[in-house]
């Protein structure tokens, strides 16, 4: 299971994904879904199902389904990503993750964190160019914009799409015809890849 902590004032090194057996892509190790921003819909809908979950306060949250909870990501082959150039943001930035508090978090269970000599984080700055991403800039504002995009949708306009490891995922069946809902509906074709 993943364990994210804020980077705070700590330094972290990173060796190489090529030394790992793609733990971050393994549904058996807790990778099932990732919350997404509305700006990510267009990039991800072709390869991943975009679904919705409802948080503790009842708010609708868009997510992409990454695995079926029992196997590796559909696109992981021989511990390599077969859609590397088109992989979603969560995969591009891992083991780092943006957070609603506008801090960057790091998964300390990633086997390559604090191995090797290359700095991933030094004094709260992302050093490795491959990890620099605009998702980290004003994440809170982007998250709130995404929340407002979907907050008016009525829960009765959703139906069960799938349940994985006690997590219930929904699809929208209402009349909303926004760009994001249309991309969500197109993305549902990808559900068949997982089962």
Within 8 A by CB and 6+ apart from 154, the residues are 174
- State the total domains in the chain: 1
- Confidence (pTM): 0.92
Place of tokens 């971050």: 24
| Contact indicator for 25, 144 with CB cutoff of 8 Å | no
Domain holding 151, by residue range, is: 4-194
Question: What is the structure's pLDDT at 19?
Answer: 85
Model pLDDT, residue 113: 94
pLDDT in tens for each of the 195 residues of the chain? 789 999 998 999 999 888 888 989 999 988 999 999 999 999 999 999 999 999 888 899 999 999 999 999 999 998 889 999 999 999 999 999 999 999 999 999 999 999 988 899 898 888 888 889 999 999 999 999 999 999 999 999 999 999 999 999 999 999 999 999 999 999 999 998 877
φ, ψ at 132 (rounded to 5°):
-70, 130
Question: Which residues are registered as beta bridge partners of 60?
Answer: 54
**Do the Cβ atoms of 94 and 128 come closer than 8 Å?**
no
Enumerate the H helices of the chain as residue ranges.
41-44, 89-93, 139-150, 179-187
Provide the β-strand partners of residue 77. 80
């Amino acid at each position: 299971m993943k364990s994210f902590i804020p980077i705070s004032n700590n330094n972290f090194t990173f060796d190489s994904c090529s030394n790992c057996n793609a733990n971050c892509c393994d549904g058996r190790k807790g990778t099932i879904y990732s919350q997404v921003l509305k700006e990510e819909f267009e990039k991800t809908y072709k390869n991943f199902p975009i679904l919705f979950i409802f948080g503790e306060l009842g708010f609708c949250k868009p997510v992409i389904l990454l695995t079926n909870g029992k196997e590796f990501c559909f696109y992981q082959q021989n511990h390599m990503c077969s859609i590397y150039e088109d992989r979603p943001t969560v995969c591009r930035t891992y083991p780092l993750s943006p957070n609603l508090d506008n801090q960057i978090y790091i998964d300390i269970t990633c086997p390559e964190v604090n191995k090797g000599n290359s700095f991933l984080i030094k004094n709260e700055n992302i050093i490795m160019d491959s990890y620099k991403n605009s998702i980290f800039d004003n994440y809170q504002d982007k998250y709130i914009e995404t929340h407002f995009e979907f907050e008016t949708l009525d829960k009765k306009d959703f139906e069960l799409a799938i349940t994985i490891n006690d997590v219930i995922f929904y699809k929208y069946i209402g009349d909303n015809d926004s760009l994001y809902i249309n991309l969500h509906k197109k993305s549902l074709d990808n559900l068949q890849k997982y089962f």
